[in-house]
């Protein structure tokens, strides 16, 4: 899936970036909790994050998540923009900064 394939109706901001609010833990490395003790420890620290996701993976190595955009599921790389204590604070931040969420 490429960025231009994502529907125009409020699924990306004016710069073409798309965002997701996700309750999750952050990985320590590519091995994940099954293969890494530090990842198992990190998996216990679940928080709410606002993630900037990239339909085109580019050339940088980043973690990936499964994202549902308008009914289509795809694996996309992401960066963490912010962490929040609850989803309402994340939604308020997104609204204040004109970030349209494709998934919560």
Which tens digit of pLDDT belongs to each residue from 22-45?
Answer: 888 888 888 888 999 999 999 998
Which stretches in the chain have pLDDT values below 50? 1-11
C-alpha pair distances (Å), 19 with each of 22, 32, 38, 76, 104:
10, 23, 27, 11, 9
Q: 0.75 cut: is pTM over it?
A: no
In a 13 Å sphere around the CA of 65, the CA atoms on its Cβ side amount to: 22
């Amino acid at each position: 899936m490429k960025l231009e394939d994502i529907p125009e109706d409020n699924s990306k901001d004016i710069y073409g970036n798309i965002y997701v609010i996700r309750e999750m833990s952050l990985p320590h490395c590519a091995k994940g909790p099954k293969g890494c003790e530090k990842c198992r420890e990190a998996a216990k620290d679940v928080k709410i994050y606002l993630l900037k996701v990239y339909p085109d993976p580019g050339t940088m190595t980043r973690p990936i998540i499964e994202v549902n955009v308008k009914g289509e599921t795809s694996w996309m790389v992401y960066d963490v923009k912010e962490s929040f204590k609850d989803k309402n604070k994340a939604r308020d931040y997104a609204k204040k900064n004109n970030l349209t969420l494709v998934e919560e």
